[in-house]
Amino acid sequence: MPDYKPKFPNIVDITKVNNSPLPREMDLSNDESRFKTSKKTYGSPLTEYKGLSNPYIDYQSIDLLLSLQHPRSKGYDEMCFYIVGQVKEILYKGLHFELYNAREQIKENNINNTITILERAICFIKYIADTWNILSTIKPEGFNEFRDFLGTASGQLSFMYRHVEFILGNKSVKMASAHKNVPHVWPEIKKSLETPSLYDEVIFYLNRRGYKISQKAIKRDWTKTYRSQNSVKDAWLSIYKKSSSKNSEYLLAETLISFDEQFSIYRWRHFTLVKKIIGYKSGTGGSSGVEWLEKVTSHHFFPELWELRNDL
Ligand code: HEM
């Protein structure tokens, strides 16, 4: 951290922002209207707008978004921590959207769309993992300047992250229960906990395609984390025996394991960063910190795809 108390530039007068989270009204444009406008402006950008906003601000409520950064301490590094934390929440939301739709597509047996969507999900998780680069510039002394202001706030309470873990099959009634007192969040977390994951849907797909999947994998308690099953491993093994760039089931398996690989890197980088910043001190969220993270870091979502490597 620089040896310096930060100055905070004023960007938005937050007392004047329209703070509704609902989408704002906007006019549409089309090729013809855009062409007409550029004729009128002789090709230079529009700079005159009526009212108290402009369409760029309104499209994504940018003024509202940029009114939500409130570091609590005078520590230099808190702004960086705060912003990266918020950016990560939005990126988890983007990642979850892709995983949700990959699950929709495999339900409809559309394996090519599932792979295309998962390829983007891989880009998301790589990008999310890269954000640790920024946070790893924070040193223990810099972190200590604002850590107390977190109270018992911790990333483990991220409901968006929990949605990501749950849709991938890493379920936990205990971690879900942290949200049961939040009425605008809990119903969807509960639903996510109780719904078959993306991987469960992939297994149903294999079953529909005639692979012999045991009933234990088809009908189980969806609130439990997925554990490896022999019948699923056998199905994948028979797919790998016919591996080719034209075999879409094989391509799906390889896309899933690449995603899992990147997610492991994300977890590992968080774990290493935490060890570098707070050592073995307890977490703010009540856990033992690094010791607890070490356990969760080894998780794989699609275990059979890792195990079958021994047999190839
Ligand atoms: C840069 C400083 C950071 C430190 C020292 C740190 C530390 C920790 C610790 C000690 C835990 C264990 C739970 C507990 O708090 O008791 C944890 C969990 C977690 N952190 Fe961080 N963290 C940092 C940044 C972040 C950021 C920016 C995010 C993203 C918003 C994040 C997301 C998470 C998540 C999702 C978990 C739960 C992991 C799981 O359930 O598998 N962390 N963190």
Is the CB of 154 inside a 6 Å radius of any atom of ligand 1? yes
Percent of the chain with pLDDT over 70: 100
- Separation of 274 CA from ligand 1 center, angstroms? 8
pLDDT-derived band at 3 (thresholds 50, 70, 90) equals confident
Return d(Cα 234, Cα 57) in angstroms, integer.
53
pLDDT in tens, 134-155: 999 999 999 999 999 999 999 9
Nearest CA to ligand 1 atom 1: 135
Check pocket membership of 157 for ligand 1, CB cut-off 6 A.
no
Nearest to residue 272, comparing CAs of 288, 250, 294, 252? 294
pLDDT score of 16: 97
Continuous H helices in the chain: 31-40, 55-59, 62-65, 78-107, 111-135, 140-147, 159-167, 173-177, 186-194, 198-208, 215-218, 230-241, 248-278, 290-297, 303-307
Model confidence over 178-192: pLDDT tens digits?
999 999 999 999 999
The residue whose two tokens read 């774990």 is 271
Distance 309 CA to ligand 1 centre (A): 31
Q: What are phi and psi of 89, to 5 degrees?
A: -60, -45
Q: Which residue is closest in CA terms to ligand 1's atom 2?
A: 274
Class of domain 78-311: mainly alpha
- pLDDT score, position 1: 79
Instruction: Report the percentage of the chain scoring pLDDT > 90.
Output: 99
**Residue 3 Cα, ligand 1 centroid: separation in angstroms?**
26
The protein residue with its alpha carbon nearest to ligand 1, atom 17, reads 155
What residue ranges of the chain are covered by domains with CATH 1.20.58.480?
Answer: 78-311
